[in-house]
Chains A and B, each alone.
Chain A
Amino acid sequence: MHGPLSALLQAGVFLAPKPWDDPRLFGEQIVLGLATGAVYALVALAIVLIYRSTDIINFAQSEMAMFGTFAMWSIWLSGVPFFSNPWALLVLAGLFGLGLGAVVERVVIRPVEGKPLLTIVVVTLGLFLLLNSVATWIWAQGELPKSFPSPLSVLKAVDIGFANIPQHHLLIFGVGVATMVLLGLLFNYTKLGLAMRATAQNPLAARLMGINVGNMLTLGWALSGTLGGISGALIAPVLSLHPAFMLSVLLYAFAAAVLGGLNSVPGAVVGGFIIGVAENLLGTYTPHAILGPEMKLPLALMLLVAILLVRPTGLLGERAVRRV
């Protein structure tokens, strides 16, 4: 064999690290992937929650979370006793997201409800530009990115038997899973959750049953804002704060949501974990000369597009049947 291809082969361009060379590294990649996957799953859940009930894809999800995280950073800097504790910040981030989500739904989204897809997409994109720009204006002064506190340490690792994992990543995984469990309990075992599911399934019938559909929609946005806020505060110590820091998370979350099927809640969770792990494995075990860690995002997105082409509604999504 001659020519450029054989030269590339001899130069080892296509050589990739092998998982069995270093099983500990492999284990670490898997667990780290599950941890970031939990964050992706949270944001994906936020997207799916809104999409199920209103058919709206919220492109501003990342910026809402980013905005809240920056607000938390301000509180942390201000040094107010009790509230500027990193644990308290996690809770506050959720509460801030709750409020922001509700306000956004009432002020921006309500007027365009039921309008064509393009209108809604553009409005959420307008919100994206607005929040991004305001955050840049308020917070992006001086040195960027800014560091965000973690309740535990990002650097100190814990040996969990087959891998060394930073404490913070264990926290991400724990809080992420706990949030999902709480959300599952809310939806499946409370009257409020039942009302929200009914609203998502058939707003007209829900209204006839005496459910205040408008309030349920606001609550859906508020919950999704909460999920975004918590995920922002969870991932910020790892990624550091920057006006665009949630954008890549949003893309992975889109990938997760679409992978699972945009209208499937379990799909979002499964998709989040799959994308988290796949991202790490693709970054580590592909030839670094031509792919490697920098290409994690494009690789994950290509994976997404490939899956979409085989199953346009995602792994667990239901095919929508339309009457024309």
Chain B
Amino acid sequence: MEMEVWPFLALSLGVTGLVRLLPWGTERQRIVASLLVLLAFMCWAPFVLDNFRLFQMTRIAVLGLALLGLNILTGYNGQVSLGHGAFVLMGAYTVAVLLDRKEQLNLIDASPWPFWATIIVAGILAAAAGLVIGVPSLRLSGPYLAIATLAVMISFPIIVRKYGAFTGGSQGLGFSRPPQPPFLEDLISREAWMYFLCLLVLVVMVLLGWNLLRGQFGRALQAVRDSEVAAAAMGIDVARVKVLAFVISAFYGGVAGALLGLISGIVNPDTVDIVQSINYLAGIVIGGLASIMGSIIGAAALVFIPSDAAKVVAKLPILSSDVVTRAPGAIQGAVVIVVMLLMPYGVAGVLHRLARLRLDQIAARWREAPALLSRSLQRASWTWDIRPWARHGPGTGHSPREGVVGRGQGNLPTQQPREDPTKGGQ
């Protein structure tokens, strides 16, 4: 059976959503069951998708891992890092060096490294690098940290090129991708094996991450993000938490890099470039900050926007399809800006609200709709009135947006405190 990727995703997400939303069992049962359904669909993917789409799914798993790492640091802990790509690149190089140069870096009994061991080594080395970068980063915050991590990201490929004797310089290193284990040889292709490997690692790491983030440590991370002073007052060792966030995030990045190297079989300094590293940040913002699911949604966006947005945007009359095929970054940039403006919590935030909707509440919302609409129209006519003769409007100095308030915080006409549809009535 062959399927296109979009029907496949629609089917799997639709069924997952139904399991999640239909009123049965307890909340916890619904969550677990829907995740299992999703996992089952993902295991089915290699048998219905063509090789190109399967490789894209593999890349989503790898990217999702990398984004989850960055989300732990930036989303949960609030440290804005543009240098996550450096950890990913480091993981990829660790695998490449270990697998490519068997003679020089043999294990004790002179056997070559098994590929699964290189993944672990890559994670640990990246975590060590995270420690090295995380400790000095304690003194930096906000924009300074963003700039310093950008510096790390820029420097790393240059250093890799310079010490070419070890890293293969600009050409990089090539090695053969690990073959499927003997008992799977007849069952699945090499591509499917790579996919299952990445999916397995992703699932394990997501479970680890979920376990870590839902507990005391996760709350400490977020407390430090929201207010360092308050967190310290509650007895949290702020420095330790911040450095640990860096180390864990780097570990995830290193493992993702190792998988990235394994699935492509070649690693060079351009495997992860600065634009890619910026894209990681864009990805978690699109997907949703401080959300495991958001990281994976963001990864899907990063993979599918360049390949598929072309077809969607090309249908718009204003743009030629040329823009899209040759400038995928343009769409990505535009999507990032629009998402930032419209959905500050990303796609995951929207889904989270959707998941909490109940049918009766939706009905209540519909009954309320006419009143809501007239209220918002009223508001719009006031703030957006650009008639020059209107007394209230932008530019007259009488518009509420230009009232005497701090800049940027337009003093909108008083809104009726509307009941939050996400709360109550459960």
Contact = CB atoms under 8 A, between A and B. Distances in A.
A298 B159 contact: yes
A217 interface: yes
Contacts of B227: 324
Interface residues of B, number: 56
A127 B341 CA distance: 13
Contacts of A119: 340, 344
B275 A132 contact: yes
Nearest to A57: B143
B336 interface: yes
Interface string B151-177: 110110011011000000000000000
A294 interface: yes
A301 B154 contact: yes
Nearest to B278: A125
Interface stretch (A89-97, A142-150, A167-175, A203-211): A203-211
Interface stretch (A34-42, A105-113, A181-189, A232-240): A105-113
A130 B407 contact: no
A59 B337 CA distance: 14
B214 interface: no
B330 A134 contact: yes
Interface stretch (B52-60, B181-189, B205-213, B320-328): B320-328
A112 B140 contact: no
Nearest to B331: A133
A136 B405 CA distance: 41
Nearest to A136: B327
Interface stretch (B3-11, B109-117, B279-287, B383-391): B279-287
Interface size, A (range): 35 or more
A122 B152 CA distance: 18
B151 A301 contact: yes
Interface in A107-161: 108, 110-115, 117-119, 121-123, 125-134, 136-137
B99 interface: no
Majority SS at the chain B contact face: helix
A117 B80 contact: yes
Nearest to A250: B150
Contacts of B279: 129
B329 interface: yes
A254 to B, nearest CB: 5
A258 B147 contact: yes
Q: Is the interface of A mostly helix, strand, loop or mixed?
A: helix
Contacts of B144: 258, 262, 308, 312
Contacts of B159: 295, 298
A305 interface: yes
B75 to A, nearest CB: 9
Given A133-B333, A137-B326, A294-B162, A207 B404 contact: yes
A204 B146 CA distance: 28
B409 interface: yes
B336 A251 contact: no
Contacts of A213: 407
Nearest to B284: A122
A67 to B, nearest CB: 12
B78 A297 contact: no
Nearest to B404: A207
B158 A251 contact: no
Interface in A254-273: 254-255, 258, 262
A5 interface: no
Nearest to A217: B407
A129 B161 contact: no
Contacts of B162: 294-295
Contacts of B289: 118
B235 interface: no
Interface in A269-324: 294-295, 297-298, 301-302, 304-305, 308-309, 312, 324
A127 B409 contact: no
A58 B344 CA distance: 19
B406 interface: yes
Contacts of B334: 126, 130
A133 B330 contact: yes
B406 A114 contact: yes
Nearest to A322: B229
Contacts of A123: 336-337, 340-341
Given A126-B336, A129-B278, A295-B159, A118 B80 contact: yes
A309 B227 CA distance: 22
B332 interface: yes
B12 interface: no
A214 interface: yes
A118 B78 contact: yes
Contacts of B332: 126, 129-130, 133
Contacts of A203: 406-407
B197 interface: no
Nearest to A216: B407
A137 B337 contact: no
Which 5 A-B residue pairs are closest in the complex by CB-CB distance?
Answer: A130-B333, A133-B329, A126-B336, A113-B408, A114-B408
Given A57-B147, A59-B146, 15 more contacts: A118-B74, A121-B146, A122-B340, A125-B82, A129-B336, A130-B330, A133-B329, A133-B330, A134-B330, A208-B404, A251-B151, A295-B159, A297-B154, A301-B151, A324-B227
7 contacts: A114-B407, A126-B282, A127-B333, A129-B333, A298-B159, A308-B148, A312-B144
